[in-house]
Structure 1
Amino acid sequence: MNLKKNVLLKLIINLCFLVISLVALFPLISLLLASFRPSTQLMRNGISLTFDLSELNLNNYSYIFSQAGQYWTWYGNSLTITVTTIILSLFFSSLVGYALAVYDFKGKNLFFTCVLFILMIPFEILMLPLFQLMIDTALVDTYMAVILPSVVAPIAVFFFRQYALGLPKELMDAARMDGSTEYGIFFKIMLPLMTPSLAAMAILQGLGAWNNFLWPLIVLRSNTLFTLPLGLSTLLTPYGNNYDVLIAGSVMTIVPIIILFIFFQRYFVAGLTVGGVKG
């Protein structure tokens, strides 16, 4: 009897998760179907799950791959900015978070309090001083203007600090006895142990950099430097809306995020769970 109850309970839970998954996937499926429709159908019926097989075609994607040269420039810009942001953010944020977790130095608590304080400040409040800083350093309309504010992200520093609190300190002592330097301890011993946290933060930072719209809108001026969110927004104008190309282009923007998650998804849950409870 108990076995039947357990099987029934598992079946109900699986059905609930299936329904939740379908609801979550509804916008994505609708967007995918809309990307194969001509613009006339989109204007007439909008984005929905209903479709006529005879009207579906690859014209939108054909246009993107053959004629929309500027689209691939935006795509390359977003890839460059996202990859650079992930690498620099993981490197510097993990160093800061690790130092706050394992070393005792003067002002440590004050520094960590400042990190927590910055976490509570909305980015909209920081935009003006950040933009003035970009002007003073002559970085406006460059990749670095988009990348630098995210290099040492407070949320990443906090996350790595919490994760590093759970690292075994005995390994550090043993490495010091063997003559290893502090940098050697971090890069050869501790950093490999932080792989789950690195993977989790790589996904979060990558999502933020890839989808970032407001800050690039403020600091970028040249059309050739636009990221994908900025470039796709230029397709909507008072003189005409290229919804068919816009939707097909939006579908293509999902591909790098899916690839990123596939590579790091096995570490993602472990990194978030351990990093969230330690300390």
Structure 2
Amino acid sequence: MSTRSRWATCLFLFFFVSLSIIVLYPLVGLLLASFKPATELLRNGLSLKLQTELFTLNNYSYLFSDAGRKYFFWYRNSLVITSLFTLLSLLLSAMVGYGLAIYQFKGKNILFVLVLVVMMIPVEIIILPLYKLTISLQLINNYWGVILPFVVAPLPIFFFRQFASSLPKDYLDAGRVDGCTELGIFFRLMMPLMLPAFGAMAILQALHSWNNFLWPLIVLRTDDMLTLPIGLASMITPYGNNYDMLLSGAVLSIVPIVVLFAAFQRFFISGLTAGGVKG
């Protein structure tokens, strides 16, 4: 390796290490703050000082007490909504993207252009008509009212379409020769080949649903139906701040996403790169 290449490698390494420190700083600070009295956050903010003499489990024991019981209602709601949303979004978006990539029919290109156009429309523009539609379908304060309006989104459709375009078409002919139906070809032959795309989209869609704040805030009404982002935001009010639950609750809210990424991370990079090769 030449001297110039070594210097370039060192610069890249320094850049990414610095970027990692910047990203991890608030997470580590939040983790340490969750083991300290809430007054320390108001006094010193997020700090990386260990201060072992201040360490306590009171914030976490508060969550498991009767006073923090509602936190686990929010946790349950977020888990149910995220699970249903992710599964339905992956299945339906994959079928739509697969259809746009594999089959030839009149108006196919127009439909794909419409998908691209919808990608450029901000969600805030369609909030009011979506809200009226949700009311007319009687889905207010309901899990399905949060899930259904965005379950088939343009980004997953575009991604699955790009990925399916790179799949070998010989499998289609082989499946048809063997008497397999079109649905059978999709589920038995093509879906296993699309696992990297499913892994990448599972992380992105679950993360989107887990962190979603605006639409659940509009649809959900009662305290026992709130999701984690809304419930934790309600801890900060003009009349008092419950940082005891906020700190420990925020740390526990990260756990499902970390577990999901650990389970699908081997598909994540391969899925994103393969999906952008051909279109």
The interval holding the TM-score normalised by the smaller chain is over 0.9
The one-letter code matched in structure 2 to 1:146 is V
Alpha-carbon separation, structure 1, partners of 2:55 and 2:48:
13
Alpha-carbon separation, structure 2, partners of 1:13 and 1:156:
31
State the partner residue of 1:273.
273
State the partner residue of 1:99.
99
Contact 1:37 1:57 in 2 (8 A): yes
Moved more, 241-250 or 265-274: 241-250
Contact 2:166 2:277 in 1 (8 A): no
The one-letter code matched in structure 2 to 1:257 is I
State the partner residue of 2:69.
69
Write the mapping of 1:212-251 to structure 2, written as runs, cut at 5 A. Answer: 212-251=212-251
Tell me by how many angstroms 1:50 deviates: 2.6
State the partner residue of 2:30.
31
State the partner residue of 1:161.
161
Write out the 4+ residue segments of structure 1 that deviate beyond 3 Å after TM superposition: 2-16
Alpha-carbon separation, structure 2, partners of 1:51 and 1:62:
20
Tell me by how many angstroms 1:212 deviates: 0.2
Write the mapping of 1:173-252 to structure 2, written as runs, cut at 5 A. Answer: 173-252=173-252
State the partner residue of 1:171.
171
Contact 2:213 2:229 in 1 (8 A): yes
Q: Deviations over 1:125-155 (max 9, x none)?
A: 0101100000111111100000002211111
The alpha-carbon distance between structure 1 residues 119 and 8, as it changes in their structure 2 partners (threshold 3 A), is closer
Alpha-carbon separation, structure 2, partners of 1:110 and 1:7:
50
Alpha-carbon separation, structure 2, partners of 1:16 and 1:161:
34
3-state SS of the aligned residue for 1:277?
coil
The one-letter code matched in structure 2 to 1:278 is K
Alpha-carbon separation, structure 1, partners of 2:159 and 2:5:
37
Tell me by how many angstroms 1:118 deviates: 0.7
- Scaled by the length of structure 2, the TM-score of the pair is 0.95
Alpha-carbon separation, structure 2, partners of 1:66 and 1:275:
47
- Scaled by the length of structure 1, the TM-score of the pair is 0.95
Tell me by how many angstroms 1:4 deviates: 7.3
Contact 1:42 1:244 in 2 (8 A): no
The one-letter code matched in structure 2 to 1:20 is L
Matched residue count: 278
Tell me by how many angstroms 1:15 deviates: 3.8
Contact 1:140 1:219 in 2 (8 A): yes
2:261 is equivalent to residue 261 of structure 1: yes
Q: Deviations over 1:170-214 (max 9, x none)?
A: 110111111111011100000000000001000000000000000
State the partner residue of 2:13.
14
Alpha-carbon separation, structure 1, partners of 2:272 and 2:118:
21
Tell me by how many angstroms 1:12 deviates: 5.0
State the partner residue of 2:116.
116
The one-letter code matched in structure 2 to 1:16 is F
Moved more, 139-148 or 35-44: 35-44
Contact 1:37 1:244 in 2 (8 A): no
Tell me by how many angstroms 1:14 deviates: 3.2
Alpha-carbon separation, structure 2, partners of 1:152 and 1:197:
16
Tell me by how many angstroms 1:51 deviates: 4.1
State the partner residue of 1:148.
148
3-state SS of the aligned residue for 2:139?
coil
State the partner residue of 2:56.
57
Contact 2:60 2:248 in 1 (8 A): yes
The one-letter code matched in structure 2 to 1:221 is R
Moved more, 8-17 or 118-127: 8-17
State the partner residue of 2:43.
44
Alpha-carbon separation, structure 1, partners of 2:64 and 2:4:
54
Alpha-carbon separation, structure 1, partners of 2:258 and 2:228:
16
